[in-house]
Amino acid sequence: MQTPTFPHESATLTLEGPAGPLEIGVDFPDGDAAPRPIIAVICHPLSTEGGSMHNKVVTMVSRALRDLGITTVRFNFRGVGASAGVYDNGEGEGDDLRAVANWVRSQRPDSALWLAGFSFGAYVSLRASAALQPQALISVAPPVGRRTWDFSQVQPPSNWLVVQGDADEIVDAQGVYQWLESLETPPQLVRMPDTSHFFHRKLIDLRGALQHEVRRWLPDSSS
């Protein structure tokens, strides 16, 4: 398979991944947002529970960042949508993320790489941060303490934001807060009251929280 070039407008592409083709969606800033030299790769929630790059939290994270002039790349992990392969409990999915991130960097070497993830996608992007060294990381509802996913060796960047709903019915919010407090360098944390795991009726609030917190990380739009 020929490696696709980075598009000049929003498009869906196919990239050769570790387990076969990976389905990728590239979205450019909307409206009057001045483009910034940043590309954010966003990881979706658990594949075996219906997670995909079309998840409403994933698409809202993309929209929030594009409003700030950031180009976003969503993709389907192996075994989801048009992506080949089977679910691999985060191991193979980390390989998928690295393939996408390496493609972004090879195609857009002058752009900063940001990573973002929701739920299982937050776990995958956190684990990959040590190797990929993103300039910034956004973790929405990281599934600390759930299943067999190990958060003990993660190495997030200094620009790290965690957004967690206090009424999360899937992720133990208090477990997340306790884990963050145990870290030598805790992240920026946004606690959203009365908010469930999938941010029902809170997606606009999520958008506002993301934009408010990450603005301080933005380079000048003319750079």
**pLDDT tens by residue, 3-24:** 999 999 999 999 999 999 999 9
Task: State how far the Cα of 114 lies from the Cα of 116, in Å rounded to an integer.
Answer: 7
Tens of pLDDT, residue by residue over 91-119, are 999 999 999 999 999 999 999 999 999 99
* Residue 145: predicted pLDDT: 83
Q: Where are the beta strands (DSSP E) in the chain?
A: 11-17, 20-27, 38-43, 71-75, 112-118, 136-140, 160-165, 188-192
Query: What tokens appear for 101 in the block?
Result: 């991130």
Q: Is the pLDDT of residue 41 over 50?
A: yes
**Are 125 and 97 contacting, i.e. CB atoms less than 8 angstroms apart?**
yes
Per-residue DSSP letter, 168: -
Indicate the pLDDT class of residue 33, thresholds 50, 70 and 90: confident
Per-residue DSSP letter, 217: G
This prediction's pTM: 0.96
Coil/strand/helix, residue 139 = strand
